[in-house]
């Protein structure tokens, strides 16, 4: 499921896009934000389905080989260990996974099956596959370990697949690392006796509301938050501050003032980490200095109004 850091990243991207498009249509931009987050779930489902489709190609290939006129002994009695992998079989038989694919028309791997073939052929040539197939012992844990490595080594880092995803949805470029981690975690958490049920996109309704609330409260207060920044950066003209840095500082100020249950330190840490990934090399140090001044000023002037967890 999506975590709050990635929600913040999505909001940051939407605020940035809105500012640079000089748009004042908050409703339209918020709708785009929600769609961007929702589409991330499609990427998660497609990533899981890649394992299923590769498995299905393997089974089809074996069935075709068995029907050859001069089929070999190995072709007539093939090693079905990969096809019968318990973890992938759990995905294949998942009602919730298959229903989501059908309901949302995610037939990508049927229309663009060459990407499935690329992953399948890479897997077949690997030591991972050969060693797995040669192991005569079959257990759920071994099947699970193989499935995780299969995804982590042959799906997640596949550059052609990443290019394909980028072509399908530009916002997926930043989502791929997060979704890859999500898929690995999903595979690791599967249990032998449980049917696979796809997880929720959001942890709870609070996280779902957080995305819209943070976006709206930030956008509606951009000029006000900029005044706070100007007061704390007397030696800096606002146009000398990187656009993303300004947005991240404003989002942090928004959390300081408009989200009483979020601790100040948690807010600062989150935006420093985002800055390291998305802004300049020196951004995190600069942002940390500005937010520290703003936080201390808000404390002195009793403007924080934190409650519950927010006081930690």
Q: Residue 241's pLDDT is what?
A: 77
158 contacts: CB under 8 Å, gap ≥ 6: 118, 119, 122
State how far the Cα of 115 lies from the Cα of 50, in Å rounded to an integer.
Answer: 9
State how far the Cα of 312 lies from the Cα of 310, in Å rounded to an integer.
Answer: 6
Instruction: Report domain extents, the chain.
Output: 4-189, 221-301
Q: Residue 175's pLDDT is what?
A: 94
List, for the chain, all residue ranges whose pLDDT scores fall below the cut of 50. Answer: none
DSSP states along 90-124: HHHT-HHHHHHHHHTT--HHHHTTHHHHHHHHHHH
Q: Residue 312's pLDDT is what?
A: 80
Quickly name the fold that domain 221-301 has: N-utilizing Substance Protein B Homolog; Chain A (1.10.940)
Q: How buried is 90 (Cβ within 10 angstroms: 0-12 exposed, 13-18 middle, 19+ buried)?
A: buried
List pLDDT tens digits, range 82-96.
999 999 999 999 999
List pLDDT tens digits, range 233-287.
766 666 667 899 999 999 999 999 999 999 999 999 999 999 999 998 889 999 9
Q: Residue 134's pLDDT is what?
A: 95
Q: What is the pTM of this model?
A: 0.88
Residue with tokens 């920044």: 229
What tokens appear for 127 in the block?
Answer: 């030591």
308: phi > 0 → left, psi -120 to 50 → alpha, else beta; which? left
6 and 171 in contact (C-beta within 8 Å)?
Answer: no
Q: Residue 199's pLDDT is what?
A: 86
C-alpha 77: how far from chain center: 41
């Amino acid at each position: 499921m999506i975590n709050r850091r990635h929600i913040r990243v999505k909001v940051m991207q939407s605020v940035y896009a809105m500012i640079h498009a000089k748009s004042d249509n908050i409703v339209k931009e918020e709708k785009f934000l929600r769609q961007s987050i929702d589409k991330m779930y499609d990427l998660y489902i497609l990533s899981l389905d890649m394992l299923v489709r590769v498995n299905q190609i393997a089974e089809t290939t074996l069935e075709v080989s068995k029907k050859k006129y001069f089929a070999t002994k190995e072709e007539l009695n093939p090693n079905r260990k990969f096809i019968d992998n318990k973890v992938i079989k759990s995905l294949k038989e998942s009602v919730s996974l298959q229903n989501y694919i059908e309901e949302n028309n995610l037939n990508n791997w049927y229309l663009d099956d060459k990407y499935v073939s690329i992953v399948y052929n890479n897997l077949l040539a690997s030591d991972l596959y050969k060693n797995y197939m040669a192991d005569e012992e079959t257990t759920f844990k071994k099947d699970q370990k193989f499935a995780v490595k299969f995804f982590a080594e042959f799906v997640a880092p596949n550059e052609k697949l990443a290019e394909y995803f980028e072509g399908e949805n530009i916002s997926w470029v930043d989502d791929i690392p997060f979704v890859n981690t999500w898929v690995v975690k999903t595979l690791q958490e599967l249990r032998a006796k449980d049917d696979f049920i796809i997880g929720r996109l959001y942890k709870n309704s609070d996280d779902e509301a957080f995305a819209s609330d943070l976006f709206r409260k930030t956008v509606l207060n951009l000029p006000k938050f900029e005044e706070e920044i100007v007061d704390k950066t007397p030696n800096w003209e606002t146009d000398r501050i990187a656009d993303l840095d300004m947005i991240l500082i404003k989002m942090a100020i928004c959390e300081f003032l408009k989200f009483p249950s979020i601790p100040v330190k948690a807010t600062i840490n989150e935006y420093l980490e985002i800055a390291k990934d998305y802004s300049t090399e020196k951004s995190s140090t600069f942002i940390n200095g500005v937010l520290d001044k703003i936080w201390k000023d808000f404390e002195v002037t009793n403007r924080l109004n934190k409650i519950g967890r927010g006081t930690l």
